[in-house]
Amino acid sequence: MVDRTEDTLPSVAEFYRDKNVFITGGTGFIGKVLIEKLLRSCPDIGKLFILVRPKRSQDIQQRMEELANSPVYEKVKKEQPNFKDKFIPINGDMCLPELGISQTDKDMLENETHIVFHSAATIRFDEPLRVAVEMNVLGVRKMVCLCKRFKKLEVFVHVSTAYANCDRPYIEEIVYPTPVEPQKLIDALEWMDDSMLDGITPQLIGDKPNTYTYTKQLAEDLLVKEGKGMPIAIVRPSIVGASWKEPIPGWIDNYNGPSGLYIAVGKGLLRSMKCDFKGVADIIPVDIPVNMLIAVAWYTAVTRPTNVLIYHSTTGSVNPFTWGEMEDIVMNVWKKVPLDACFRRPNVVITQNKFMHEFYTMVSHLVPAYLADMGYCLMGKKPRMVRIYNKLHRSMNCLTYFTMQSWEWTYNNLDMLVSQLSPEDRKTFYFDPRPLHWPTYMENYCLGTKKYLLNEDLSGVPAAKAHLKKLRNIRYTFNTILAVVIWRTLIARSQIARNLWFFIMGLVMKFVKYFRITSTIRS
């Protein structure tokens, strides 16, 4: 480690001056925030080469235009109206041979790229193993092969995940041995058909919960071995959530991770969640790992560490926040600022008990869903609630492994990196999660899902509250009618229940009579 002095290390912005950056995953959540932060905090940065995959309905130029028009770039637009001039789209695809990049673009990258951020990956937990290996493992190999030819390469920063080693309760800043050599698995995939591969996938991933975490660990191992001699660093974020401070507090552009859960709770859809009430919800605001990526690239390039350094961007061990605490805050937010057109009033039960969770799921999810779809059919509308709940349950099943457990991570390299930054750079490129105030952050997060994902305006809050009040009255009326029907049914069949009914009614009448007499005397 090099001790920080003003004479030894340039500032982060100085380092990025006139540097050309190659980014994969630039159209993803982390990628968008990374590009915005580089443009705004390092205004003298050179070109931004962004790997973009054309879609059926959009070519790469249209996708870049859509990227530039994202709300995340509002600040940059005001400060640098011509910021799009720095974007150089590279037509490519992580699944194609040599990334599908043309020879002309390869030559440009090889001659001009200084810094590489590799964040492209499939983050679907239920991705078939073949697809996950193609994107997350072979994609890294292709990147290493390409970047080895870069004549001006100063650093290659790989975005991994803090859960790459989630089969361990205590995770250090090292690359752990993999259960199988990546190349052996790659070779096996060439002769296995999909049915055979799907059949042995559970045995292959072992104690890992899904193909995502499994392949991300393999990718780290492959990167370190095949990228030997390259200036490499690895950043491991946990569950990436909405922004904390920048570019906009609470900004979010996807339903992944907790975002979809918050909306499901706010809409009254999610009523039961299987998780450890006291377990740590290791959410990290997106601007924290983004700032860390920028600082890690700076430190790796200017100091050239002899080893590949791993950096954890998590909150669990330094600023823990439990699922139970989250539930309280989220529920309070949705009571104050409800979502529009809720299905039911927000209310969720957190339990570790499998039987209780399945009972609540049946009573509070499936029964109302089928009743609602029956109502839609009677009104001549297309049923949709059962389909929505099936999708919600699939998502919940993928997350259960992470909501039922907690992990500890080491932060030696994070603390070291903080010490190397100047006081000004520590403020600009903050990545220490210790000062994060969870209640404020969670409120902004929920409001961000309402504004940026659902496109709901705060001016509609009074109407949303009136709708919740209507739902409450319907619920009370339904419960009262149901209780009376059940009780009257019992009375008709049981002498004991009948006697108890008359006894209770007698007490009620005596209370009413006493209340009237008391009121008359006082008046």
- What SS3 string covers 16-55? HECCCEEEECCCCHHHHHHHHHHHHHCCCECCEEEEECCC
Q: Are 288 and 433 in contact (CB under 8 A)?
A: yes
Burial class of residue 35, CB neighbours in 10 A (0-12, 13-18, 19+):
buried
Place of tokens 């952050």: 441
Look at residue 350 and give its three-state secondary structure: strand
pLDDT at 1: 46
Burial 260-273 (b: 16+ CB within 10 A, else e): bbbbbbbbbbbbbb
Supply the DSSP symbol for 98.
G
Q: How far apart are CA 309 and CA 173, in angstroms?
A: 7
| Residues of the chain below pLDDT 70 | 1-7, 487, 490-493, 498, 514-523
- Cβ(276)–Cβ(394) below 8 Å: no
- 142-255-175 Cα angle (round to 5): 40
Identify the pLDDT of residue 5: 45
Classify 327 in phi/psi space as left (phi over 0), alpha (psi -120 to 50) or beta: alpha
Rounded alpha-carbon distances, angstroms, from residue 208 to 127, 390, 407: 14, 24, 14
pLDDT at residue 490 in the model: 65
Kindly report, residue by residue over 197-237, the tens digit of the pLDDT: 888 888 888 888 899 999 999 999 999 999 998 999 999 99
